[in-house]
């Protein structure tokens, strides 16, 4: 390879990018997971003197957040019924209006307006508007920053989910959590650095593509944490191994593997010996992390854990906080799974659908923000709320209140992790159909997340297929400075 | 009502300062810095994109291909401001990154202030070289790069090394003052060779045979015999197919929301296995995948005994492997993306070139322009897209061809059967003539749909009743007003290909609907799909019945009795369906007209009707019809729809450069060609494509490209494949970036050796098996993997091959080995993919957990990993954990990670534990002696003899389990087996 060292250049060798990753971000990530032959092969510096990945201190002077909790409202919540107050829209309820839309039904020139089905009020010192869907969350607005002007590239679930999770419409690219762990590594060796909690109704469509590591090593993909049974696949030793026998097995393996390694010059063998011990520790650490018996009644009440309606999401929100406390970098919590009204995809009866999903999540999410704050964790935990897109101001069908998908404009909010509270940026038009002022692409959200973690979104790259691949794409993207404290 | 202009007003508010506003321009130095740093890379002295060069005031004023970039009359409308407004991503400048707000403001103020550019020295921009990258490509002849040069014939003439490979490696080691490691132990070599060629451990019998042969014939002869035997094993093709499937990102579903199945794509996988087992020459292997469908038309001389066979068509399933979104947000772009996926993969797989880099802009390191990229695209752009140039759930079949297996001894080819049937039809023709005037003259004009089936949006409602019904229920007079009503398509969701509009779960269902006739048609065709037994009545007359089930819609010509049952006015069609188990579904449609075998159908109706033909003639016709039925039912090979390549016709539409890779921003038209840097002659595009015949159905471009790979492009393509062969034997390629031989990749550690191997590959007529023999008979391949102090100190990454690199088993090798050792492995070759059990918690991650995964019988679930269904949205956790690559993008080189979740799966996971239990059972059955069980276990799992020390340690382990944990003998034996599967010695090869 030639000696090129200019940054911001489309393409370095794998060796070079690892070198930069080693100097710039964290060491744990790659050094921890790649076999030494890979490192031998790819990461010796140009003069061959030093492997830059081993033992470099993590240096992130700009980091505001240590962890991210992404509350994914799968299916696409309606912005005009939740946080994007459009007073005009109430007046046009039932009237047919020319307003272009693009959803699963394709492009339309206009349609029957469905007025917002909930009343809006101002809350907090900042006076942000919140609909009656979120009576609890409404009291947290002084900690939240609303972005009313997001837009995404696809109004279809399949590609829309990939867009929001992986930055691309085309399948095969790593998800945000993989990027974060690639850049930062995990602070906790006993737990995965990237955890996904799904709705009890099932996964979102695309399944594992939503937490894939794409062309990065599989060890960077999201690990599902279950709230029932063993939290992680194969974590629980089977009955015949539980208690003593597993220790005996591990001791025996350690003895045999040590004798085997001693006759060989292959550091990866030592690495695998350590992995067995780490796995053993994980068996204890992960159940401890998900053990809610340690939570006092006040916390249970705060999240709504004992209310059947909010129980499921409350449990996941408490777990998210516990994982943050244990150094897990990126946690994604899905609200909604499967198909149709099992998620926020309100094509039919808007009131039924959104009442259901907001009702299940309002108190748990408010509890999470409150709890993080009272523990002093909100400052270093970035919370993101939103779906893969929003919904249209018009009705999808001749009858009913259902709204079709809308990726031309939708609201998401962020809180904590160095985000300003009580602000709102961007605007949709008077009907809430399209972002028109201070528009932000999904890439800007991704850039903001990486930036708050101390990573430069336009520099964090992974060399693959002849390109310096980035989460924010070759176009690059700026963080949303207006909401950064 | 809100007006349209109100919305427009909101939008206009964004556009900034009022038109015509004149501002004071910022200092030139500020502007100049921005232009130099942001624009010169693409608009500087040695690179001039869009003919727009930023050098002096004059070149700036002249502008680019579309004229001046500043509009003096109306500065607000200047193109320069448009490209930095970022309203249109296709026009954004610079293309790779938006300018910071401050710089945009400066440029804007400068343009609005008249864009003053000094004429004197300060107006000359800095030397662009100061700001462009040193790619290593610009200063030298672009073709003067190791990967593009002709093959070198260098061979170090060192007589002491009999094998050329060792001469090359020895020369390099000598140069670096490195010693060499001695030959490994035969036990190690047997295991290494067996895994490298078959992906499985050697059996005890194979081991015994090898050691006996060494004793009898000497090592070299025994080794040669061993390699030959392994290459003859069908396991070889299964193992090496996996390498290829990584490269071509093989998967059996499309990804995205529905993740639909690619029907029969496993036949492509089988084709790869078979081709490797038969040692199909690599040039042919490439050609059939790239252009198998074009052979018959464009290169009949390449036909095998004048016959194409189904193989080359199945091979073009290569084009059908990518992800496919059936409802993309931007259809035009999606078609372009699908094509780009094929183009990028083809370049990486066959040319080790990151051509894809040049889709949006000229390649940043290699001499490949954007024009080159689209010229290369033009070779493939006439292939019909996955959705048949459309989209939607029911699509994905625009490239289906109906193929058939090779006939067995008791079968005749379909063509032969059709020929015989046609001969009988010829004999039937006179009868038709006799019927003329009765049947033919009153031929119905076109097919008229009487009752549409559920596939049609105009399908009618049916009255339905589940369970029993009175005897008279099919008759026209029956009162069905109390029955429920629903659109057709009754059954349970998940029945393949069914369109379920009304759930039906019961044992039996009865359906009735009406249609009107103004005149009686001459013939009826029934469309139907039934699961299971179906019976159809017209106005109470039974006209059709079938047992069992089918998995798709089909048509049948109804007998004359059906036509006779019709009346002018209202008619009732009644259907009953019975179900015993599994999925269920029923739907029918009815139309007038004839099916394809029209002559026979008409004669049959005439005979059945007994109206238009005399008794004697009728008997003769009946006999012929019976013979025809018999012939039609002769056994023929299994026919199936296969996903293949298909072109749109003999001429392709012009290929435009797509600016920024956008299908909405078309540039110049380009001619089909490989990238110029690969062309052997200056200027002329390669390969040259002969004018297709007038009746050709494709352009022949892909075929020309495939032939070029083996001719003028042979140096590159043979280097690429020789490097991969080396990689899969030695753990890494001679070039460590096997998918990128360009300037972003690494240079080979032994370029002359790579050239030597490439030439050897061509000289051996592109035979992979000959190359395996050649590589494996080198001393280098047979070296031990033990460390040497000098090597570890001077060359820790073993660039000089002073030892053989140890390697970990792949995910598939691990699973297959566990099955082989436990004795459960099912060695069945070929066939549809299998579904080993997936833990419930993994299935639950799918959006339809119940329908996410199949359920194979235990013996099928124990087949080799290459036969496991590859579902893009749901993959086997064990495979993922052990680094099987994501199948969405081509993978030239797997990662090798080392994480605790792997240990959890191999220690706690159900699969490995179950196999340990089976292994233990077989050991217990083999012998009652504890010592012999240990001995046998170690020998089988690790492929080596078991020492007394081994026995003592394992025995102590089991004793501890028995005494400290009160385990019985069998449980302890199972844990011993589990330990064997988790040993580093099991997972690693020396």
Supply angle C-alpha A111, A117, A121, rounded to 5: 125
Alpha helices by DSSP H, B13-53: 28-38, 40-43
Question: Does B10 sit within 8 Å of A265, measured CB to CB?
Answer: no
Instruction: Determine the residue of chain A that is closest to B806 in CA distance.
Output: A266
Residue B596: the pLDDT is: 59
Q: Which of A71, A133, A125, A25 is nearest to A372 (CA)?
A: A71
CA B518/CA B570 separation, integer angstroms: 9
The 3-state DSSP class for residue A245 equals helix
Boundaries of every domain in chain B? 20-130, 281-401+645-712, 445-592, 910-989
Supply the DSSP symbol for B968. -
With 80 as the cut, is the pLDDT of residue B288 above it?
yes
CA A361/CA A75 separation, integer angstroms: 14
Dihedral of the alpha carbons of B111, B117, B123, B128, in degrees to the nearest 10: 30
- Looking up tokens 């808007």 gives A350
Report whether A485 contacts A419 (CB < 8 A): yes
In this structure, the strands spanning A67-73 and A330-335 are parallel
- All residues at 6 or more sequence positions from B323 whose CB lies less than 8 Å from its CB, including other chains: A170, A171, A172, B251, B254, B255, B256, B341, B872, B888
Q: Per the omega criterion (within 30 degrees of 0), is the bond before B417 cis?
A: no
A192 vs B126, more confident: A192
Question: Does A224 sit within 8 Å of B896, measured CB to CB?
Answer: no
CATH of domain B20-130: 1.10.760
Alpha-carbon distances of A367 from A142, A303, B200, rounded to whole Å: 15, 4, 54
Supply the DSSP symbol for A20. H
CA B538/CA B792 separation, integer angstroms: 86
Most confidently predicted of A463-472, B92-101, B464-473, B747-756: B747-756
Within 10 A of B359 (CB to CB), how many other CB atoms are there?
A: 22
- Looking up tokens 């385990």 gives B967
Report whether A403 contacts A396 (CB < 8 A): yes
CA B192/CA B197 separation, integer angstroms: 9
Please report residues of B whose CB lies closer than 8 A to that of A15: 746
For chain B positions 822-861, those within 8 Å of chain A (CB to CB) are: 839, 841-842, 844-849, 852
Instruction: Determine the residue of chain A that is closest to B957 in CA distance.
Output: A252
Question: Does B965 sit within 8 Å of A465, measured CB to CB?
Answer: no
CA B91/CA B95 separation, integer angstroms: 8
Query: How does pLDDT run across B947-956, given as a tens digit for each residue?
Result: 999 999 999 9
Report whether B704 contacts B686 (CB < 8 A): no
The complex scores an ipTM of: 0.82
Instruction: Say how many CB pairs under 8 Å bridge A and B.
Output: 353
Question: Does A218 sit within 8 Å of B895, measured CB to CB?
Answer: yes
Question: Does A256 sit within 8 Å of B953, measured CB to CB?
Answer: yes
Please report residues of B whose CB lies closer than 8 A to that of A88: 2
Cβ-count burial of A220 within 10 angstroms (0-12 exposed, 13-18 middle, 19+ buried)?
buried
Q: What are phi and psi of A85, to 5 degrees?
A: -75, 120
Tokens (6 digits) for A83: 């946080």
B655 vs B45, more confident: B655
In this structure, the strands spanning A381-386 and A67-73 are parallel
Strand partners, A195: A223, A331
The 3-state DSSP class for residue B219 equals helix
Supply angle C-alpha A142, A147, A148, rounded to 5: 115
To test the contact with chain B by mutation, choose from A234, A254, A389, A405 the residue with the greatest count of B C-beta atoms within 10 A, namely A234
Question: Does A33 sit within 8 Å of B983, measured CB to CB?
Answer: no
Report whether B817 contacts B809 (CB < 8 A): yes
A220 vs B601, more confident: A220
For chain B positions 400-459, those within 8 Å of chain A (CB to CB) are: none
Of residues A92, A206, A219, nearest to B897 (C-beta):
A219
Residue B842: the pLDDT is: 87
Number of Cα atoms under 13 Å in the Cβ half of residue B292? 25
CA distance to partner chain A, nearest, from residue B189 (Å):
16
For chain B positions 742-781, those within 8 Å of chain A (CB to CB) are: 742-747
In this structure, the strands spanning A461-464 and A467-470 are antiparallel
B482–A contact, CB cutoff 8 A: no
CA B542/CA B539 separation, integer angstroms: 9
Strand partners, A224: A196
Of residues B89, B792, B852, nearest to A265 (C-beta):
B792
CA A375/CA B808 separation, integer angstroms: 45
pTM of the predicted structure, to 2 decimals:
0.77
Alpha-carbon distances of A301 from A227, A368, A378, rounded to whole Å: 18, 11, 19
CA distance to partner chain B, nearest, from residue A268 (Å):
8
Of residues A38, A209, A273, nearest to B895 (C-beta):
A38
Tokens (6 digits) for B897: 């990670």
DSSP string, B106-143: HHHHHHHTT----SSGGGSPPPGGGTS---SSSSS-TT
Question: Does A209 sit within 8 Å of B872, measured CB to CB?
Answer: yes
Instruction: Determine the residue of chain A that is closest to B746 in CA distance.
Output: A1
Report whether B869 contacts B833 (CB < 8 A): yes
Alpha-carbon distances of A21 from A18, A25, A53, rounded to whole Å: 5, 6, 8
Which residues, given as ranges, of chain A have pLDDT below 70?
1-61
For chain A, domains (ranges, CATH) are: 1-59 (no CATH), 67-227+293-483 (3.40.720.10), 244-286 (no CATH)
Please report residues of B whose CB lies closer than 8 A to that of A9: 133, 364
Q: Per the omega criterion (within 30 degrees of 0), is the bond before B94 cis?
A: yes
- All residues at 6 or more sequence positions from A110 whose CB lies less than 8 Å from its CB, including other chains: A96, A97, A98, A99, A100, A101, A394
Report whether B532 contacts B547 (CB < 8 A): yes
CA distance to partner chain A, nearest, from residue B957 (Å):
7
Q: Is A13 left (phi over 0), alpha (psi -120 to 50) or beta?
A: beta
The percentage of chain B sitting over the pLDDT mark of 90, rounded to a whole number, equals 54
The pLDDT confidence band at residue B324, using thresholds 50, 70 and 90, is: very high
Please report residues of A whose CB lies closer than 8 A to that of B852: 207
Question: Does B849 sit within 8 Å of A264, measured CB to CB?
Answer: no
The percentage of chain B sitting over the pLDDT mark of 70, rounded to a whole number, equals 90
B144–A contact, CB cutoff 8 A: no
To test the contact with chain A by mutation, choose from B4, B87, B329, B747 the residue with the greatest count of A C-beta atoms within 10 A, namely B329
- Looking up tokens 């269920």 gives B584
In this structure, of B70-79, B165-174, B293-302, B444-453, the range with the lowest mean pLDDT score is B444-453
Question: Does A233 sit within 8 Å of B905, measured CB to CB?
Answer: yes
Residue A8: the pLDDT is: 29
Q: What are phi and psi of B989, to 5 degrees?
A: -110, 135
Q: What are phi and psi of A364, to 5 degrees?
A: -60, -40
Report whether A86 contacts A430 (CB < 8 A): yes
Question: Does B356 sit within 8 Å of A467, measured CB to CB?
Answer: yes
Question: Does B848 sit within 8 Å of A339, measured CB to CB?
Answer: yes
Residue B615: the pLDDT is: 67
Mean pLDDT of B796-812: 93
To test the contact with chain A by mutation, choose from B899, B902, B905, B954 the residue with the greatest count of A C-beta atoms within 10 A, namely B899
Question: Does A279 sit within 8 Å of B904, measured CB to CB?
Answer: yes
Mean pLDDT of B871-893: 92
Of residues A9, A158, A207, nearest to B327 (C-beta):
A158
The pLDDT confidence band at residue B620, using thresholds 50, 70 and 90, is: confident
Residue A417: the pLDDT is: 97
Of residues B852, B873, B985, nearest to A260 (C-beta):
B985
Tokens (6 digits) for A36: 């030494």
Alpha helices by DSSP H, A118-233: 157-166, 176-184
Report whether B314 contacts B347 (CB < 8 A): no
B360–A contact, CB cutoff 8 A: yes
Query: How does pLDDT run across B183-203, given as a tens digit for each residue?
Result: 999 999 999 999 999 999 999
Within 10 A of B615 (CB to CB), how many other CB atoms are there?
A: 8
Residue A33: the pLDDT is: 41
CA B287 from centre of chain:
16
Report whether A469 contacts A173 (CB < 8 A): yes
Residue B207: the pLDDT is: 94
Of residues B257, B960, B967, nearest to A157 (C-beta):
B257
Helix (H) or strand (E) holding A87: helix A87-91
Question: Does A233 sit within 8 Å of B13, measured CB to CB?
Answer: no
CA A16/CA B157 separation, integer angstroms: 37
Tokens (6 digits) for A221: 């993909």
CA distance to partner chain A, nearest, from residue B681 (Å):
26
CA B768/CA B751 separation, integer angstroms: 20
With 80 as the cut, is the pLDDT of residue B145 above it?
yes
The 3-state DSSP class for residue B589 equals strand
With 80 as the cut, is the pLDDT of residue B13 above it?
no
For chain B positions 12-51, those within 8 Å of chain A (CB to CB) are: 13-14
Residue B11: the pLDDT is: 34
Question: Does B978 sit within 8 Å of A276, measured CB to CB?
Answer: no
Please report residues of B whose CB lies closer than 8 A to that of A261: 984
Of residues A205, A244, A430, nearest to B847 (C-beta):
A205
For chain B positions 888-907, those within 8 Å of chain A (CB to CB) are: 888-891, 895-905, 907
With 90 as the cut, is the pLDDT of residue B287 above it?
yes
Strand partners, B863: B826
Please report residues of A whose CB lies closer than 8 A to that of B14: 436-437
Alpha helices by DSSP H, A304-342: 308-325
Query: How does pLDDT run across B65-115, given as a tens digit for each residue?
Result: 777 888 888 888 888 888 888 887 777 888 767 788 888 888 888 888 888
B95–A contact, CB cutoff 8 A: yes
Tokens (6 digits) for B601: 């159908």
Mean pLDDT of B678-690: 81
Question: What is the CATH superfamily name and number for domain B445-592?
Answer: Galactose-binding domain-like (2.60.120.260)
Supply the DSSP symbol for B988. E
Q: Is A305 left (phi over 0), alpha (psi -120 to 50) or beta?
A: alpha
Q: Which of B697, B699, B619 is nearest to B653 (CA)?
A: B699
Mean pLDDT, chain B, rounded, equals 87
B812–A contact, CB cutoff 8 A: no
B348–A contact, CB cutoff 8 A: yes
Helix (H) or strand (E) holding A330: strand A330-335
Of residues A98, A269, A279, nearest to B988 (C-beta):
A269
Instruction: Determine the residue of chain A that is closest to B334 in CA distance.
Output: A170
């Amino acid at each position: 390879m030639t000696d090129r060292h200019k940054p911001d250049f489309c393409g370095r060798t794998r060796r070079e990018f690892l070198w930069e990753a080693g100097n710039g971000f964290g060491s744990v990530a790659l050094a921890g997971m790649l076999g030494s032959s890979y490192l031998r092969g790819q990461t010796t510096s140009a003069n061959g003197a030093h492997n830059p990945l081993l033992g470099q201190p993590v240096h992130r002077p700009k980091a505001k957040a240590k962890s991210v909790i992404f509350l994914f409202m799968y299916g696409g919540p309606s912005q005009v019924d939740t946080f994007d107050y459009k007073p005009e829209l109430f007046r046009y309820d039932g009237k047919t209006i020319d307003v272009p839309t693009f959803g699963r039904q394709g492009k339309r020139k206009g349609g029957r307006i469905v007025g917002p089905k909930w009343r809006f009020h101002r809350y907090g010192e900042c006076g942000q508007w919140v609909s009656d869907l979120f009576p609890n969350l409404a009291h947290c607005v002084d900690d939240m920053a609303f972005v009313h002007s997001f837009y995404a590239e696809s109004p279809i679930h399949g590609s829309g989910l990939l867009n929001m999770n992986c930055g691309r419409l085309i399948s095969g690219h790593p998800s945000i959590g993989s990027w974060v762990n690639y850049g930062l590594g995990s602070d906790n060796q006993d737990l995965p650095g990237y955890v996904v909690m799904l709705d009890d109704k099932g996964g979102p469509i695309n399944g594992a593509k939503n937490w894939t590591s794409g062309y990065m090593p599989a060890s960077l993909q999201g690990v599902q944490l279950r709230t029932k049974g063993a939290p992680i696949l194969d974590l629980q030793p089977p009955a015949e191994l539980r208690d003593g026998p597993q220790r005996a097995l591990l001791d025996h393996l350690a003895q045999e593997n040590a004798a085997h390694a001693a006759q060989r010059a292959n550091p990866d063998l030592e690495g695998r010996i350590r992995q067995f011990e780490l796995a053993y520790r994980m068996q204890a650490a992960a159940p401890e992390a998900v053990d809610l018996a340690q939570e006092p009644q006040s916390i249970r009440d705060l999240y709504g854990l004992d209310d059947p309606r909010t129980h499921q999401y409350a449990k996941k929100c408490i777990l998210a906080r516990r994982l943050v406390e244990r150094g897990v970098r990126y946690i994604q919590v899905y609200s909604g799974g499967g198909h149709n009204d099992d998620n926020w995809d309100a094509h039919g009866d808007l009131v039924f659908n959104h009442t259901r999903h907001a009702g299940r999540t309002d108190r748990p999410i408010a509890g999470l923000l409150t709890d993080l704050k009272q523990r002093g964790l909100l400052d270093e935990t970035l919370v993101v709320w939103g779906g893969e897109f929003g919904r249209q101001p018009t009705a999808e069908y001749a009858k009913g209140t259902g709204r079709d998908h809308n990726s031309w404009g939708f609201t998401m909010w962020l809180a904590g992790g160095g985000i300003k509270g009580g602000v709102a940026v961007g605007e949709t038009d008077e009907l809430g159909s399209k972002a028109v002022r201070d528009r932000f692409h999904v890439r800007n959200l991704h850039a903001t997340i990486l930036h708050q973690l101390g990573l430069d979104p336009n520099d964090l790259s992974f060399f693959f297929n002849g390109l310096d691949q980035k989460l924010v794409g070759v176009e690059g993207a700026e963080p949303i400075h207006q909401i950064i404290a | 009502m809100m007006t349209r202009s109100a919305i427009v007003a909101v939008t206009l508010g964004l556009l900034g300062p009022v038109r015509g506003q004149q501002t004071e321009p910022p200092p030139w130095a500020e502007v100049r810095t921005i232009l130099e740093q942001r624009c010169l890379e693409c608009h500087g002295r040695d690179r001039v994109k869009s003919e727009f060069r930023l050098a002096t005031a004059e070149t700036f004023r002249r502008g680019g291909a579309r004229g001046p970039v500043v509009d003096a009359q109306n500065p607000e409308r200047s193109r320069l401001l448009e490209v930095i407004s970022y309203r249109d991503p296709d026009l954004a400048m610079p293309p790779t990154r938006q300018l910071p707000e401050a710089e945009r403001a400066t440029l804007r103020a400068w343009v609005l202030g008249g864009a003053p550019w000094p004429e004197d020295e300060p107006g000359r921009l800095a030397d662009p070289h100061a700001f462009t990258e040193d790619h290593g490509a610009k200063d030298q002849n672009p073709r003067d790069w190791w990967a593009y040069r002709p093959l070198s014939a260098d061979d170090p003439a060192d007589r002491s090394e009999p094998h050329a490979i060792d001469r090359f490696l020895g020369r390099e080691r000598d140069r670096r003052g490195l010693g060499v490691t001695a030959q490994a132990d035969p036990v190690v070599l047997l295991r290494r060779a067996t895994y490298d060629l078959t992906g499985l451990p050697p059996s005890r019998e194979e081991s015994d045979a090898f050691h006996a042969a060494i004793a009898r014939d000497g090592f070299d002869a025994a080794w040669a015999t061993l390699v030959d035997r392994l290459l003859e094993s069908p396991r070889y093709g299964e193992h090496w197919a996996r390498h290829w499937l990584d490269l071509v990102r093989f998967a059996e579903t499309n990804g995205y929301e529905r993740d639909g199945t690619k029907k029969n794509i496993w036949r492509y996988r089988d084709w790869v296995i078979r081709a490797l087992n038969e040692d199909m020459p690599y040039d042919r292997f490439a050609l059939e995948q790239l252009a198998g469908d074009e052979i018959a038309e464009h290169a009949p001389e390449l036909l095998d005994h004048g016959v194409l066979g189904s193989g080359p068509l199945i091979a073009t399933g290569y084009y059908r492997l990518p992800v496919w979104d059936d409802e993309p947000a931007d259809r035009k772009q999606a078609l372009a993306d699908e094509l780009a996926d094929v183009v990028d993969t083809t370049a990486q797989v066959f040319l080790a070139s990151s051509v894809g880099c040049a889709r949006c802009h000229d390649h940043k390191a290699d001499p490949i322009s954007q024009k080159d990229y689209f010229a290369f695209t033009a070779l493939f752009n006439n292939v019909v897209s996955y959705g048949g140039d459309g989209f939607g759930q029911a699509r994905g079949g625009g490239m289906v061809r109906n193929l058939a297996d090779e006939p067995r001894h008791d079968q005749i080819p379909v063509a032969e059967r059709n020929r015989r049937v046609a001969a009988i039809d010829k004999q039937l023709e006179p009868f038709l003539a006799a019927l003329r005037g009765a049947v033919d003259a009153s031929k119905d004009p076109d097919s008229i749909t009487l009752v549409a089936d559920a596939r049609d949006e105009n399908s009618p409602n049916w009255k339905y009743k589940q369970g029993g019904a009175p005897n008279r229920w099919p008759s026209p007079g029956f009162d069905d007003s109390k029955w429920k009503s629903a659109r057709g398509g009754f059954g349970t969701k998940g029945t393949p290909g069914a369109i379920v509009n009304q759930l039906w779960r019961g044992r039996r269902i009865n359906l009735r609907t009406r249609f009107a006739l103004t005149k009686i048609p001459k013939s009826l065709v029934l469309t139907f799909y039934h699961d299971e037994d179906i019976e159809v009545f017209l106005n109470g007359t039974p006209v059709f019945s079938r047992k069992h089930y089918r998995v798709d819609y089909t048509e049948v010509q109804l007998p004359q009795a059906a036509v006779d049952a019709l009346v002018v006015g209202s008619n009732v069609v009644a259907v009953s369906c019975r179900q015993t188990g599994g999925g269920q579904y029923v739907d029918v449609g009815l139309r007038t007209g004839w099916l394809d075998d029209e002559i026979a159908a008409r004669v049959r109706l005439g005979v059945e009707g007994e109206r238009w033909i005399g008794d004697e003639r009728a008997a003769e016709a009946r006999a012929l019809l019976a013979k025809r039925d018999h012939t039609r039912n002769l056994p023929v090979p299994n026919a199936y729809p296969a996903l293949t390549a298909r072109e749109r016709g003999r001429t392709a539409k012009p290929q435009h450069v797509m600016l920024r890779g956008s299908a909405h921003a078309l540039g110049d038209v380009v001619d089909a060609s490989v990238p110029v840097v690969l062309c052997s002659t200056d200027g002329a595009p390669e390969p040259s494509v002969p004018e297709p015949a007038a009746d050709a159905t494709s352009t022949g471009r892909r075929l020309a490209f495939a032939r070029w790979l083996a001719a003028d492009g042979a140096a590159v393509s043979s280097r690429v494949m020789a490097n991969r062969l080396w990689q899969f034997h030695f753990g890494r390629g001679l070039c460590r970036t096997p998918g990128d031989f360009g300037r972003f990749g690494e240079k080979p550690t032994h370029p002359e050796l790579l050239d030597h191997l490439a030439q050897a590959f061509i000289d051996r007529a592109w035979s992979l098996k000959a190359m395996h023999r050649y590589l494996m008979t080198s001393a280098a391949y047979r070296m031990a993997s033990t460390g040497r102090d000098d090597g570890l100190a001077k060359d820790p990454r073993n660039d000089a091959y002073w030892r053989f690199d140890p390697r970990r088993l792949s995910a598939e090798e691990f699973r297959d080995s566990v099955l082989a050792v436990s004795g459960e492995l099912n060695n069945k070759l070929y066939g549809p993919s299998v579904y080993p059990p997936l833990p419930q918690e993994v299935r639950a991650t799918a959006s339809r957990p119940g329908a996410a995964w199949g359920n194979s019988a235990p013996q099928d679930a124990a087949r080799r990993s290459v036969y496991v269904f590859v579902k893009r949205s749901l993959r086997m956790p064990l495979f993922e954990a052990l680094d099987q690559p994501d199948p969405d993008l081509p993978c030239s080189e797997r990662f090798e990670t080392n994480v605790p979740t792997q240990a959890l799966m191999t220690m706690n996971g159900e699969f490995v534990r179950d196999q340990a239990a089976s292994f233990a059972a077989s050991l217990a059955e083999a012998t009652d002696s504890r010592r012999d069980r240990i001995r046998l276990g170690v020998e089988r799992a690790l492929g080596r003899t078991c020492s007394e020390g081994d026995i003592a340690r394992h025995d102590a382990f089991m004793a501890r389990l028995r005494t400290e944990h009160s385990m019985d003998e069998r449980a302890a034996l199972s844990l011993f087996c589990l330990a064997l599967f988790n040993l580093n010695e099991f997972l690693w090869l020396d």
